[in-house]
Amino acid sequence: MRKFFILLLVSLFSLASPVHAEVDFSNKTITWVVPFKEGGGTSRFARFIQPFLTKYLPGNPDIQIMHIPGGGAIKGSNYFQKNAKSDGTFIFGCSTSVIVNVATGNPLVEYNLSEYKPVLLLPQNTHWFTRSDLANGPHDLSKLQERDLMLYALKTPASADLFHIWVFDKLGLKGAKPIPGLSSSGGYQAFLRGEIHISSHGAANYVKKVKPEIEKGKVVDLMTLGIIGADGVVSRNPLAPDAPTFPEMYEKMNGKKLQGDDLEAFYSIGAAWSQASKSMLLPENTPDEIVKAYTDAAEKMINDPEFKEKAAKALGPFPLIVGEEAGAIVKKAAIFSDTTKEQLNAVLNKNRFTYRVQ
Amino acid sequence: MEQLIAALFQLFEINHLIFLFAGTLLGLVVGILPGMGGTSGLALVLPFVFSMEPSYALAMMIGVLAPTTTSDTFPAVLMGVPGTAGSQATVMDGFPLSKKGMAARALSAAFSASLLGGIVGAFMLSISIYYAIPIIMAFGFGEQFLLVVLALLMVGALTGDNLFKGVTSCFLGLIIGSIGTAPITGDPRYTFNSLYLIEGVPLVVVGLGLFAIPEIVGLLDSRGAIAKSLKNEKGWITGAKDVLKNWFLVLRCSTLGCLVGALPGLGGTVVDWLAYSHLKQTTKDTSQFGKGDIRGVIAPESANNAKEGGALIPTLIFGIPGSGNKVLLLGGFVLIGIEPGLDMVTTNLDLTYLMIWSLALANILGAGICLAFASQISKFTLVPYYILAPVMVCLIFFATFNINRDWFDFIALLAFGLIGITFKNFGWSRPALLIGFFLSTKVELLSYQTHAVYGLSFLTRPVSIILIVLCLATIFLLSKQRFDSNYKSDQKKGKMTQIYYVGFLLCLPLTMIFFTSNLDYRANLFPISLSIIAILLLIFIFIIKVTDLKNYAFLNYTFMNFARSNIFENGSFNNQLYYFLSFLGFLAMNFIFGFPIAAALFINFFILFHNRQAYQVSICISLVLMMILWSLSSLLTLQFPNGAIGLVIDLPWWLGGELN
C-alpha cells in the first residue's frame, strides 16, 4: 500500500512538472540489502563502494548496509523484493549465486531479478589450471583428454559450479568427473595433494596461491573464461595473457568456432558467472531519473582517481560495468533460454545428477 | 620466523590488544560463572566478530577461550563446584585446601600452573604449525575421513560412563547435521520446503541451546552453594612457590594436556582427570590426595590450560574440532572468511601466528588478572543467579538473532534448550551431539569423496594404517573402561519418563527416513543409514530400560549387565522445567512487544519475582541493556524483531520499528 502510494506520488509529480525534478537524497538514509553474511565477497564489495556512493549521490545520503543471510541467499533477496521502496532509498547487493537461483528456477525464489535496474557490475574471471605432469606444457588439454578419469571439484550442482560441468563437457573431456562438496580452496588443496586433476580459482586467489606454484613449475595454466565485451567479443584475461579463453579452447578441441546454441549458452553462463559476479541494483519500477542519478554517481565514482587506485587492489583488475550495458547483462544472466537450460540439464543427466534446472 | 615476530608486533598494536583484552575479560567472567564455559562464551561473541577485521576477531575469540580454564578455579576452590567441565578434578584437592583455610595458596598455585600450562600449549602449537605442511599434504580424503571417524570414536570416550547413550547422542547429532541441502545432489532434506532449514540448523543456535540454556536453568535450580570469602587470606606467594617446586610435574601434565587436546574430538572434559590420575600413579605418598594436596591442584590446572593449544592443532590444520568449544571457533572462522587447512600455514600464516601469540598473551593476562584481583573477582561468585540469569537469557536471544536475523532462531534456540536440559538430566551427551552435528557434513562428503578418488585402496596408505590402529586402540580402551559406572538400580523414580523420552527421540530418525526416502540415493543414503543405526541403538536402550524396570532375570548375563550399568540417568529436573517455562514466557513477550521491550520487561519481572526489594537493580540493569541494544542496532544495522504491538503503533527503529 505504502509502496503504491509513493509510486502514485512520484508519478503524479513527474506528470505535473514537465521538467524532471532534481533527485536529491539529502538527509536521507539509503539501505543497501546484502543477502549474505558480513565478511563475504558481496559484503566487502558493498562496503568498498559505500563511501564513494555517498560522495557522488546528490545530497550525500548516509548508506547503511543491512545483512540478511540465510536460505542460500534467497531469504535476503525475498526480503528485498517485499520491503524495498522504489524511491532510491533501497539498493540490492547481488552476486552470482543470487542470479543462479533465478536462472535455474529455484522454486523458493520470490524476487523478480530480471526487472531490477542494475547500476553497477563488478566482473570476475575463472582460471583453470592443472599439474604440469598432466599436460604437455601450458594450455594443453590433450593429455587430460586421453584420461579415463579426470577429477575436478564441484561445490554442489545447485550452484554456479554447475557451469564447470558444462565447460568440461563442451571441451570433450570424457573422463571428467566432479567430486562434490569441495569449496574452491578445499578443491585446490586436494589438487595440490594430487587427488584431483584440474582445478580453478578466481582472480584474487589465482594471483595469491596459483601464480607461485606456476613459477615453481608445478602447475600450468590451461585457460580462462575470458572477458566478454559489450559487443560480445571475448578477449583474454590480463592476469594470464598467454592463456586461451574458453571460446579459443573450444575451437581448438572441437575444430569449429563456438557458435549457435553453445555460444548462446556461453553468453548466459558468462553473464551470470563472470560479468555480473557482484552487482548493485535498484528495485523494479524505480523511476528513470533516480536510476540516472545512480548511474551518474557510479560513472563519476569509477573516474575518481582515489577510487581507481584503491579499486585495483580491493576489487581486482577487471573494469566495472555501468549503465545500459549492465542492464542487458543481468537480463541475460537471470533468464536462461530453453535451449541453454536443456544443455545444462543434459550435462547434469550425463553426470548422473538428479538436480535439474527448471 | 620473520612472520612469527611480525605477528607479535601486530598483536601489540593497540587495537589488537583492546580486542584481546575484551575477549579475555569475557572469558574470565564466563569461566567464573559455574557451568558456563568457552562454548557459551564464544557463542556470545560470534555475532559480533563478523563485522570486525579477521585479525581482531581472532584475537578476541582466542581471548575468550584461553582464560576460561584459569578463572574456573574460583568456583572450584571456593565453592567446590567446577566452573567449567575442565576443572572437575581441581575440586578434589582445591576445595579441601580452601576448607583448611588455604584458599589463597590453592588459587595462586592454580593460576601459576594454568599460566605455565597455557604457554606450553601455545609453544607446542607453534612447533606443530612449523611441521604442518607435510602433514596436511599427507592427509588426503581417505586420511581425513579416518581422522573424522577417530574424532567420533573419541567422542565415545568423552561421554564418560554412559557409553550407549553417548554413542546414540552422537548419531542423533549426525542426523540433525544432515538436515538441509544435500551436499552431493543439492536436494533439500528434511527442510519441509522452508527457507529456514535450507542451510541446516544454525550452529550457534545448537551451541547456545545445548550448553548455555541448560546451565542457566540448572544454576537457577541449584540456588548456589555459599562461596567462601577471600578476605584476609594469605599464602599467595606459597602457592606460586609450590608451582616452581613442582616444575617437572607442570611440564609433564601440560605436555599430556597438549597431546590429549590434540586428539580430535576428545577435548577438555577428560584432560583434568587424566592429569590427576597421572599424578596419583607417579607419586609415592598418595595419602593426602583428596584431602588437600597442592599437587592435586597443580596437575589438572596445568593440563587443562595446555589442552587449548593442543586442541587448536587439528582445528587449524584440518578443520576438525579438537574439543566442543572449537566447533564454535570454526564457526567463527567461517564468519570472518578463514578456511582451516593449508591456507592457515601458507597464505594465512600471519593469522595463525597471531592466534598463537594471542593464546600465550591471553593466558598471561588471564592468570595475571586473576592473581592481582583475586578477592574482587571472587565476588562474582556471590552475585545472585536470579540477577545474572535473565540478563544472560536476553544476551543469548540477542546473539542468536544477530546471526541469522530470523524469528525461527528463537524457537529453534528454545527447542535445543529443552533438548539440552533433558539430555543433561537424563545422562545423554551434549558434547557428543554437538560434535556429531558439526562433523555430519564432513563425514558424508569425505566418505563420498574417498570413494570417488580411491575406492577402498585408501585403507592401505601408511597414514591410514596409523589412524586405523588409533581407532582400534580407542575402541579397545573404551570397552575396557566401562565396567564401573554410576549406575544405581534404585533410581526407579523417573525411569518411566526416561522410557518415554527414548520413544520421543525415536521420532527424529523415523521421520527422517520417512521424509528422505523418495530422494536420490546419493541424497538419502547417509541420513537413512544413520537413522537406522540410531533407531537400533534407541530400541536397544529402550529394551534394556524396560527390562531393568521389571528386573528380568536375563539381566544377569555379563553383556546385559554391562549394558544395563552403562545406561543410567543423572538425576531429576526439580524446578528446571519451570524455569524453562519462564523463557517461553519471554518468547511470547517477544511476539507481543518485539525484542527490546520484551527484554526489559523480562529482566524486571524475573528479578522482582525473586526479590521484591531489588527493583532498583532490575530497573538499572534493564536500562543499561536497552542502551546497549540501542547502540548495537545502529552499529550493526540490525532491525530487532518487531512484535504484534509494532503493527498498531509506529515504533522507532531501534525498538523494532520500520527502517528509515
Nearest-CA distance from B191 to chain A in Å? 11
3-state helix, strand, coil in chain A (%, to 5): 45, 15, 35
Cβ pair B50:A37 closer than 8 A: yes
State the DSSP H helix or E strand holding residue A215, giving kind and residue range, or none if neither.
helix A211-216
pLDDT digits (tens, 9 = 90+) for A314-355: 888 888 999 888 988 998 899 999 999 999 999 999 988 888
CATH number, domain at A303?
3.40.190.150
Q: Are A192 and B134 in contact (CB under 8 A)?
A: no
Cβ pair B137:A192 closer than 8 A: yes
Average pLDDT rounded to a whole number, residues B6-12: 82
Residues B552 and B606 reside in one and the same domain: no
- Structural domain tally of chain B? 2
Q: What does the DSSP 8-state code read for residue A57?
A: S
Q: Which residue of B has its CA nearest to A41?
A: B337
Cβ pair A179:B452 closer than 8 A: yes
- Provide the H-helix boundaries in B373-406: 374-377, 385-404
Residues A135 and A39 reside in one and the same domain: no
| One-letter identity of residue B398 | F
Residue A37 confidence class, pLDDT cut points 50, 70, 90: confident
The interaxial angle of helices A162-170 and A260-270, nearest 10 deg, is 150
Residues B494 and B563 reside in one and the same domain: yes
Residues A200 and A342 reside in one and the same domain: yes
Lowest mean pLDDT: which of A344-353, B180-189, B228-237, B395-404?
B228-237
Question: Last residue of some domain: B527, B553, B569?
Answer: B569
B660 contact A CB<8A = yes
Q: Are A120 and A321 in contact (CB under 8 A)?
A: yes
Q: What does the DSSP 8-state code read for residue B602?
A: H
A54 contact B CB<8A = no
Residue B483 confidence class, pLDDT cut points 50, 70, 90: very low
Residues of A in contact with B137 (CB under 8 A): 192-193
Instruction: Answer whether residue A174 is part of any domain.
Output: yes
Residues A157 and A90 reside in one and the same domain: no
The answer for residues whose C-beta is within 8 angstroms of residue A312's C-beta and 6 or more apart is none
Closest CA to B366 of B313, B316, B321, B301: B301
What does the alpha-carbon distance between residue B13 and residue B7 come to, in Å, rounded to a whole number? 10
| One-letter identity of residue B171 | F
Distances (CA, A) of A262 to A270, A289, B15, B274, B323: 12, 38, 53, 65, 51
Residue B266 confidence class, pLDDT cut points 50, 70, 90: low
Is the sign of the CA dihedral B457, B462, B465, B471 positive or negative?
Answer: negative
DSSP B554-575: GGGSHHHHHHHHTS------TT
Q: Are B374 and B109 in contact (CB under 8 A)?
A: no
Q: Are A264 and A339 in contact (CB under 8 A)?
A: yes
Distances (CA, A) of B361 to B8, B367, B602: 10, 10, 38
Most A CBs within 10 Å, among B203, B444, B449, to test the A interface: B449
Q: Are B310 and B262 in contact (CB under 8 A)?
A: yes
Q: Which of residues 161-190 of A touch B (CB under 8 A)?
A: 177, 179-183, 185-186, 189-190
Instruction: Answer whether residue A182 is part of any domain.
Output: yes
C-alpha cell of B420? 539440552
The predicted structure's pLDDT at residue B379: 77
B137 contact A CB<8A = yes
A70 contact B CB<8A = yes
Does the pLDDT value for residue B36 go beyond 80? no
Instruction: Answer whether residue A145 is part of any domain.
Output: yes
Cβ pair B449:A186 closer than 8 A: no
Residues of B in contact with A89 (CB under 8 A): 660
Q: Number of C-alpha atoms within 13 angstroms, CB side, residue B619?
A: 5
Residues A91 and A188 reside in one and the same domain: no
B316 contact A CB<8A = no
pLDDT digits (tens, 9 = 90+) for A223-240: 999 999 888 899 999 999
Mean pLDDT, rounded, of chain B: 84
Does the pLDDT value for residue B373 go beyond 90? no
Winning range, highest mean pLDDT, from A211-220, B388-397, B428-437: A211-220
C-alpha cell of A69? 543471510
Average pLDDT rounded to a whole number, residues B203-209: 86
Compute the residue count for chain B: 660
- E strand intervals along B43-197: 180-181, 188-189
Q: Which residue of B has its CA nearest to A196?
A: B453
Does the pLDDT value for residue A197 go beyond 60? yes
pLDDT digits (tens, 9 = 90+) for B77-100: 888 777 777 777 888 898 888 888
Residues A283 and A234 reside in one and the same domain: no
What does the alpha-carbon distance between residue B359 and residue B372 come to, in Å, rounded to a whole number? 20
What does the alpha-carbon distance between residue B259 and residue B307 come to, in Å, rounded to a whole number? 7
Q: Are A293 and A88 in contact (CB under 8 A)?
A: yes
Cβ pair A64:B140 closer than 8 A: no
- Which residue carries 584474487 as its cell? A204
Residues A155 and A254 reside in one and the same domain: yes
Residues A228 and A307 reside in one and the same domain: no
pLDDT digits (tens, 9 = 90+) for B141-200: 999 999 888 888 877 666 656 778 888 999 999 999 999 988 887 788 998 888 888 888
Nearest to B335 among A39, A71, A151 (CB): A39
Instruction: Answer whether residue A333 is part of any domain.
Output: no
Is the sign of the CA dihedral B77, B83, B84, B85 positive or negative?
Answer: positive
Residues of A in contact with B139 (CB under 8 A): 193
Compute CA B210 distance to the chain's CA centroid, rounded to the nearest angstrom. 9
Instruction: Answer whether residue B395 is part of any domain.
Output: no
Does the pLDDT value for residue B299 go beyond 90? yes
Average pLDDT rounded to a whole number, residues A262-281: 94
Cβ pair A74:B639 closer than 8 A: no
CATH number, domain at A230?
3.40.190.10
Residues A268 and A281 reside in one and the same domain: no
B347 contact A CB<8A = yes
Residues of B in contact with A151 (CB under 8 A): 452-453
Average pLDDT rounded to a whole number, residues B302-329: 87
Residues of A in contact with B342 (CB under 8 A): 185, 189, 192
What does the alpha-carbon distance between residue B612 and residue B644 come to, in Å, rounded to a whole number? 29
Instruction: Answer whether residue B224 is part of any domain.
Output: no
Closest CA to A240 of A229, A224, A217: A224
Nearest-CA distance from B193 to chain A in Å? 8
- Structural domain tally of chain A? 2
Cβ pair A181:B183 closer than 8 A: yes
Residues of A in contact with B463 (CB under 8 A): none
What does the alpha-carbon distance between residue A1 and residue A23 come to, in Å, rounded to a whole number? 23
pLDDT digits (tens, 9 = 90+) for A80-134: 999 899 999 999 999 999 999 999 888 889 999 999 999 999 999 999 999 999 9
pTM for this predicted structure? 0.84
Average pLDDT rounded to a whole number, residues B306-311: 90
Compute CA A320 distance to the chain's CA centroid, rounded to the nearest angstrom. 12
Distances (CA, A) of B104 to B27, B93, B232, B378, B455: 21, 13, 9, 11, 60
What does the alpha-carbon distance between residue B179 and residue B515 come to, in Å, rounded to a whole number? 11
Instruction: Answer whether residue B480 is part of any domain.
Output: no
Q: Tell me which residue range forms the domain holding A67.
A: 2-14+24-121+277-322
Residues B636 and B601 reside in one and the same domain: yes
Q: Which of residues 393-422 of B touch A (CB under 8 A)?
A: 404-406
Is the sign of the CA dihedral B430, B199, B658, B589 positive or negative?
Answer: negative
The predicted structure's pLDDT at residue B488: 54
Closest CA to B348 of A232, A321, A95, A189: A189
Instruction: Answer whether residue B220 is part of any domain.
Output: no
Residues B643 and B598 reside in one and the same domain: yes
Cβ pair B405:A68 closer than 8 A: yes
Lowest mean pLDDT: which of A18-22, A341-345, B429-433, B521-525?
A18-22
Cβ pair B337:A177 closer than 8 A: no
A88 contact B CB<8A = no
Q: What percentage of chain B carries pLDDT values higher than 90? A: 28
pLDDT digits (tens, 9 = 90+) for B328-362: 898 888 878 788 888 888 888 888 999 999 999 99
The predicted structure's pLDDT at residue A121: 94
Nearest-CA distance from B226 to chain A in Å? 44
- Which residue carries 597431546 as its cell? B259
Q: Tell me which residue range forms the domain holding B634.
A: 594-655
Does the pLDDT value for residue B559 go beyond 70? no
B53 contact A CB<8A = no
Residues A7 and A70 reside in one and the same domain: yes
Instruction: Answer whether residue B651 is part of any domain.
Output: yes
Closest CA to B297 of B80, B90, B69, B113: B90
The predicted structure's pLDDT at residue B484: 47
Q: Are B345 and B7 in contact (CB under 8 A)?
A: no
Instruction: Answer whether residue A95 is part of any domain.
Output: yes
